[in-house]
């Protein structure tokens, strides 16, 4: 039986499902097609992607397949995608939005986010931005575009919001000051913040700010992004695995659920939208099986009281940028204490 997925209201009046499919690192088209079909059949109605992920065209193909077969209507599916960091100048924003609409084979995007607050260029000719980015991490620095202001990027997004091609706007990986500054200047207020969020990095202060500003929150890496190691498999990541936390493991035994299901349910009960990524059909089906139980207030508090703190995505590739967002990161650390994720 397909579960009924709860949702939260966006400031645009639309509703954001609290559960969906993340697709970062899902670059194998055949695997992603299978995962998308399994997800949709299991009841997923939120799909999260980005220009940077290089898979919007695959998602568009599968959605069109379901639309043409009459299995879904466009209004049944909520699509979130993101503006890449190398297309934040106004003319580039226009071009990117048009390309992304075409790749997704839709007339509108439900939620469009600025992916990273740091405009930059990679100075590469490779059309596959993600592979070029992976090479760039280990070969050279990026060219920062410190003269691009967020509000100039945002103003173009507002134009497409007013035309109906973008139904809601938001940001990703912004810090509190960047959110507030943009909010104060924007005509169309941001509706959503997508950030790394899990028991080891619970983002309580940012969550409270978003509540104050009538913004919803989406958690990426809600179970700790074990798949991040496939993106850069050289151990160049902060160490932390929420799924292995003893509190999570014990609650999994108590509720007869997987650690991932416990972590997802925990955030769901905080009214935070979660987008776990998997292309494994069994895990795709497992992850959505979180609507037949509820964590007790006592057990929810146990997870809230976990003391370990680790940011898994530090964005060191943007260190030194005018808009580098994380003042908690010790940029002097190297090796296995650093990361270069996005």
In sequence order, what are the residues at sequence separation of 6 or more whose Cβ sits closer than 8 angstroms to the Cβ of residue 2?
A: 42, 43
Q: What is the 3-state secondary structure (H, E, C) of 241-266?
A: CHHHCHHHHHHHHHHCCCHHHHHHHH
> What H or E segment, with its residue span, contains residue 220?
strand 216-220
Any idea which residues carry the catalytic annotation?
A: 53
DSSP annotation string for 231-243: HS-SS-S----GG
238: phi then psi, degrees, rounded to nearest 5: -60, 150
- Give the distance, in angstroms, between the CA of residue 226 and the centroid of all CA atoms in the same chain: 15
- CB distance 236 to 212 below 8 Å: no
Alpha carbons 333 and 329: distance in angstroms, whole number: 9
């Amino acid at each position: 039986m397909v579960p009924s997925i709860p949702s939260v209201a966006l400031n645009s009046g639309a509703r954001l499902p609290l559960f969906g499919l993340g697709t970062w690192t899902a670059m194998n088209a055949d695997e992603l097609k299978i995962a998308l079909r399994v997800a949709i059949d299991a009841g997923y109605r939120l799909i999260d992607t980005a220009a940077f992920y290089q898979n919007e065209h695959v998602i568009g193909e599968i959605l069109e397949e379901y639309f043409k077969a009459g299995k879904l209507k466009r209004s049944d599916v909520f699509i979130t995608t993101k503006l890449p960091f190398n297309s934040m100048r106004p003319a580039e924003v226009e071009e990117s939005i048009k390309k992304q609409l075409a790749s997704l084979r839709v007339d509108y995007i439900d939620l469009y986010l600025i992916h990273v607050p740091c405009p930059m260029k990679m100075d590469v000719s490779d059309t596959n931005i993600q592979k070029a980015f992976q090479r760039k991490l280990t070969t050279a620095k990026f060219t920062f575009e410190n003269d691009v202001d967020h509000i100039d990027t945002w103003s173009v997004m507002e134009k497409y919001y007013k035309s109906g091609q973008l139904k809601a706007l938001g940001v990703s990986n912004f810090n509190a000051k960047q959110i507030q500054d943009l909010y104060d200047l924007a005509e169309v207020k941001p509706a959503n913040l997508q950030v790394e969020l899990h028991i080891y990095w619970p983002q309580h202060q940012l969550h409270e700010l978003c509540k104050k500003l009538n913004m919803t929150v989406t958690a990426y890496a809600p179970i700790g992004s074990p798949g991040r190691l496939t993106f850069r498999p050289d151990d160049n990541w902060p160490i932390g695995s929420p799924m292995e936390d003893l509190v999570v493991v014990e609650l999994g035994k108590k509720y007869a659920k997987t650690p991932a299901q416990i972590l997802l349910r925990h955030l769901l009960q905080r009214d935070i939208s979660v987008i776990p990524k998997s292309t494994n059909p069994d895990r795709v089906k497992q992850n959505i099986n979180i609507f037949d139980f509820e964590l007790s207030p006592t057990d929810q508090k146990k997870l809230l009281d976990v003391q370990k703190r680790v940011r898994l995505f530090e964005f060191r590739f943007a260190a030194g940028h005018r808009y580098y967002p994380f003042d908690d990161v010790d940029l002097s650390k190297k090796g296995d204490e650093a990361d270069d994720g996005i």
